[in-house]
């Protein structure tokens, strides 16, 4: 995700900002920029590409003199990576500069309102709206030519804006101060004898200070060279307690977590929220990027979902959800197969490709194959401006932020949300679900982030269980219906990071061969969240248990009958049957992670694997 740095003090700001941004590179980004007050005006330099480009552009900051400034590394969400979309963004007079991490959910209506007041825009970003909105309110605080009041302008904006933001703000009228503002996106401030600092994360400050203040939601900080003041959104001054950071830099980049994979698992409540909420408007589902009329949605005869690995598993869930809710036939294909099997794509067929990286060669090839056959392709992609995002006819972004660990977790969870939203949108338009059912499902979706958070809190129990299986040779994951889809993902999570052989099976398929592999002590993880199929999966559990298996069950709370067939049970909270994969995957992710940690594997960079498979 984006990274923010700010400095005001006795030293040159630009080199401090560049140094701080370099410590945030691990967060993933596609462009960088900074704004520095040079004693006369705000100088702004920004460019697409690595931080090195900005360093060369500014000769290591030497061409941007001044002791107050803000800087940014951008992970694109709204607007593809480009110089003009890079931060900082600024008002027309370049007297106010802003850097932002987060998503402004209501930026479009705010942009329309500003345009109606004569504002013009140069970028496609939600952040530029903030720059002009601050300008608008700041100008309203200026009386008879006196300087305006930055704090009042900022708090006015905070009352108008919906979404998540961590901001650094610089006012040319007030060069003796910089401002930091936070809602939902992380932001910290710190101080030493040479100045005060803003940063998105601890690594950017460790070189200068280990004493930091974690900014809370709806708080504003005014930083001067030798002191800071903290305010609420109602401009009331407050005091805050500093925190001393004990982490080293490596641990700090992981936010104190041992691995990026664990950190990203714990980001899932936020990534589910970020992918979901901007598309829930006034009780309806609005997927602007779908660009399909109601007639076009009603005309869909069949959907192909094409992807690889975990994205393919998400597609398998998508099949059950779209067919179940919207009653549209769905075929899910491995991209490496789709591109060579001369698929039959008839009129009325919609093709959806799913890819976290947006660079997977097989998936990109499948997209081109579908387009060559005259079909439009919708991409569900996490990386803005990636090849698949650029070549798809329409893109529905997952807003999971950059995913560093090779084994996907938060992006996979965000893909599930995107597929639920599509299924419900199609179902509502095609009239296959009633309004009351639709509203109940929307409420179930809203509850998912909190339920995921609750399951993540259960990690110690799962870690203890996982430690018993670090020596396992074979593990089987079984499920029926939508639980089969999640057992595929649970199996992949285990094998790709622990190197233990693992397979997923449709539970009803066991007796057609696989059950011969079950020996005494073989671990079988049975996912049993579908009440309609509960008795069936229970029988399968009894079958394998009779042959010596140790049965781990993942089921919905209340299904205590399962304890007669399972040796170890993990309960997940109750939700709509179509959404249980979003919850069942959490203990399975944690299980795979802790088995791999117990084996001493390189969890974030498993052997032989790449984060993005850009070759065949
Ligand atoms: C999942 O943990 C793996 N990293 C891998 O299966 C991955 O899902 C697959 O390579 C597809 O990648 P993509 O989503 O970037 O296209």
- The pLDDT tens digits of the residues spanning 521-545 come to 999 999 999 999 999 999 999 999 9
Please report the pLDDT score of residue 202 as a whole number.
86
Please report the pLDDT score of residue 344 as a whole number.
95
**What pTM was computed for the model?**
0.79
Q: Distance from the CA of 355 to the center of ligand 1, in angstroms?
A: 7
- Report the nearest atom of ligand 1 relative to the CA of 613: 10
pLDDT band at 147 (very low <50, low <70, confident <90, very high): confident
pLDDT band at 404 (very low <50, low <70, confident <90, very high): confident
Which pLDDT tens digit goes with each residue over 185-200? 889 999 999 999 999 9
306 lines ligand 1 (CB under 6 A): no
Please report the pLDDT score of residue 489 as a whole number.
98
Beta bridge partners of 72: 4, 33
Q: Distance from the CA of 188 to the center of ligand 1, in angstroms?
A: 33
Please report the pLDDT score of residue 35 as a whole number.
98
Give the separation between CA 172 and CA 110, rounded to whole angstroms: 24
Which pLDDT tens digit goes with each residue over 244-282? 887 777 767 788 899 999 999 999 999 999 999 999 998
Beta bridge partners of 101: 166
Please report the pLDDT score of residue 27 as a whole number.
74
Sheet order of strands, 219-223 included:
89-90, 96-101, 165-171, 178-183, 219-223, 228-232, 237-238
Which pLDDT tens digit goes with each residue over 335-379? 999 999 999 999 999 999 999 999 898 999 999 999 999 999 999
413 lines ligand 1 (CB under 6 A): no
Q: Distance from the CA of 398 to the center of ligand 1, in angstroms?
A: 14
Q: Which residue's CA is minimally distant from atom 16 of ligand 1?
A: 355
77 lines ligand 1 (CB under 6 A): no
Please report the pLDDT score of residue 383 as a whole number.
86
- Report the nearest atom of ligand 1 relative to the CA of 496: 2
Q: Which residue's CA is minimally distant from atom 7 of ligand 1?
A: 309
CB 386 within 8 A of CB 247: no
Give the separation between CA 374 and CA 367, rounded to whole angstroms: 11
Give the separation between CA 16 and CA 204, rounded to whole angstroms: 9
381 lines ligand 1 (CB under 6 A): no
Which pLDDT tens digit goes with each residue over 298-315? 999 999 999 999 999 999
Which pLDDT tens digit goes with each residue over 503-516? 999 999 998 988 99
Give the separation between CA 78 and CA 108, rounded to whole angstroms: 11
360 lines ligand 1 (CB under 6 A): yes
CB 308 within 8 A of CB 613: yes
Section 204-209 average pLDDT: 92
Is pLDDT above 90 for 219? yes
Q: Distance from the CA of 312 to the center of ligand 1, in angstroms?
A: 8
Q: Distance from the CA of 372 to the center of ligand 1, in angstroms?
A: 24
Q: Distance from the CA of 585 to the center of ligand 1, in angstroms?
A: 16
414 lines ligand 1 (CB under 6 A): no
Q: Distance from the CA of 311 to the center of ligand 1, in angstroms?
A: 6
Q: Report the percent of the chain where pLDDT is more than 90.
A: 86
Which pLDDT tens digit goes with each residue over 111-145? 999 999 999 999 999 999 999 999 999 999 988 77
Q: Annotated catalytic sites, by residue?
A: 2, 611
Section 50-77 average pLDDT: 95
386 lines ligand 1 (CB under 6 A): no
Which pLDDT tens digit goes with each residue over 431-471? 999 999 999 999 999 999 999 999 999 999 999 999 999 99
DSSP designation for 319? H
Best probe residue, ligand 1, of 260, 265, 308 (max atoms within 8 Å of C-beta): 308
Q: Distance from the CA of 409 to the center of ligand 1, in angstroms?
A: 10
Give the separation between CA 406 and CA 388, rounded to whole angstroms: 19
Based on the number of CB atoms within 10 Å of its own CB, is 62 exposed (0-12), middle (13-18) or buried (19 or more)? Answer: exposed
Instruction: Tell me how far the alpha carbon of residue 399 is from its chain's centroid.
Output: 4
Q: Distance from the CA of 494 to the center of ligand 1, in angstroms?
A: 14
Element (H, E) at 496: helix 482-498
Q: Kindly report the CA angle at 315 between 390 and 355, in degrees rounded to 5?
A: 30
Q: Which residue's CA is minimally distant from atom 4 of ligand 1?
A: 407
CB 383 within 8 A of CB 389: yes
- Report the nearest atom of ligand 1 relative to the CA of 411: 14
- Mean pLDDT score across all residues of the chain: 94
311 lines ligand 1 (CB under 6 A): yes
pLDDT band at 227 (very low <50, low <70, confident <90, very high): very high
387 lines ligand 1 (CB under 6 A): no
Interhelix angle for 581-598 vs 410-430, to 10°? 170
308 lines ligand 1 (CB under 6 A): yes
Residue 100: strand, helix, or coil: strand
Residue whose tokens read 């972004």: 397
Sign of CA dihedral 412, 417, 423, 425: negative
Please report the pLDDT score of residue 144 as a whole number.
78
C-beta neighbour count of 602 within 10 angstroms: 12
């Amino acid at each position: 995700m984006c990274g923010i740095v700010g400095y005001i003090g006795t030293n040159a700001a630009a080199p401090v900002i560049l140094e701080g941004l370099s410590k945030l590179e691990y967060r993933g980004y596609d462009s960088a920029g900074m704004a520095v007050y040079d004693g006369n005006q705000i100088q702004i330099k920004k460019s697409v590409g690595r931080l090195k480009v900005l360093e060369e552009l500014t000769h290591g900051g030497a061409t941007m003199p001044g002791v107050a400034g803000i800087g940014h590394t951008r992970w694109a969400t709204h607007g593809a990576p480009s110089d003009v979309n890079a931060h900082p963004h600024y008002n027309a007079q370049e007297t106010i500069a802003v850097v932002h991490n987060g998503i402004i959910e209501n930026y479009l209506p705010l942009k329309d309102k500003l345009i109606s007041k004569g504002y013009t825009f140069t970028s496609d970003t939600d952040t530029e709206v903030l720059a002009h909105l601050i300008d608008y309110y700041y100008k309203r605080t200026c009386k008879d030519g006196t300087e305006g009041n930055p704090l009042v302008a900022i708090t006015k904006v905070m009352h108008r804006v919906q979404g998540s933001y961590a901001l650094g703000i610089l006012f040319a009228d007030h060069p003796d101060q910089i401002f930091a503002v936070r809602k939902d996106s992380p932001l910290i401030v710190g101080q030493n004898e040479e100045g005060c600092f803003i940063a998105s994360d601890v690594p950017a400050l460790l070189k200068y200070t280990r004493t930091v203040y974690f900014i809370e939601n709806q708080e504003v900080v005014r930083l001067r060279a030798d002191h800071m003041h903290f305010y609420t959104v109602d401009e009331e001054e407050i005091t805050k307690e500093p925190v001393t950071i004990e982490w080293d830099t490596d641990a700090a980049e992981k936010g104190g977590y041992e691995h990026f994979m664990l950190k990203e698992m714990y980001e899932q409540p936020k990534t589910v929220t970020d992918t979901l909420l901007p598309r829930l408007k006034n009780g309806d589902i609005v997927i602007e990027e779908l660009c399909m009329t109601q007639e076009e949605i009603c005309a869909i005869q069949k959907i192909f979902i094409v992807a690889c690995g975990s994205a393919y598993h998400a597609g398998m869930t998508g099949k059950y959800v779209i067919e179940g809710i919207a009653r549209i036939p769905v075929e899910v294909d491995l991209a490496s197969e789709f591109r060579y099997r001369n698929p039959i794509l008839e009129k009325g067929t919609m093709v959806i490709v799913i890819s976290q990286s947006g660079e997977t060669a097989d998936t990109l090839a499948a997209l081109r194959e579908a387009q060559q056959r005259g079909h439009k392709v919708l991409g569900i992609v996490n990386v803005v401006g990636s090849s698949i995002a650029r070549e798809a006819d329409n893109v529905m972004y997952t807003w999971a932020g950059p995913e560093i660990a090779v084994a996907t977790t938060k992006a996979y969870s965000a893909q599930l949300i995107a597929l639920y939203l599509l299924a419900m949108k199609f179902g509502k338009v095609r009239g296959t679900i009633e309004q009351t059912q639709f509203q109940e499902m929307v409420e179930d979706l809203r509850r998912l982030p909190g339920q995921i958070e609750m399951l993540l809190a259960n990690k110690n129990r799962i870690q203890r269980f996982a430690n018993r299986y670090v020596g396992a040779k074979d593990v089987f994951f079984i499920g029926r219906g939508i639980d089969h889809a999640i057992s595929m993902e649970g199996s992949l999570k285990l094998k790709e990071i622990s190197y233990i052989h693992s397979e997923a099976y449709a539970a009803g398929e066991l007796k057609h061969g696989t059950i011969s592999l079950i020996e005494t002590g073989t671990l079988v993880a049975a996912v049993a969240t579908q009440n309609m199929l509960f008795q069936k999966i229970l029988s399968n559990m009894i079958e394998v248990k009779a042959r010596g298996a140790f049965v781990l069950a993942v089921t919905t709370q209340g299904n205590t009958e399962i304890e007669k067939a399972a040796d170890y049970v993990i309960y997940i909270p109750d939700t709509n049957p179509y959404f249980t994969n979003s919850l069942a995957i959490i203990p399975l992710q944690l299980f795979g992670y802790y088995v791999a940690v117990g084996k001493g594997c390189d969890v974030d960079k498993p052997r032989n694997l790449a984060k993005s498979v850009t070759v065949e």
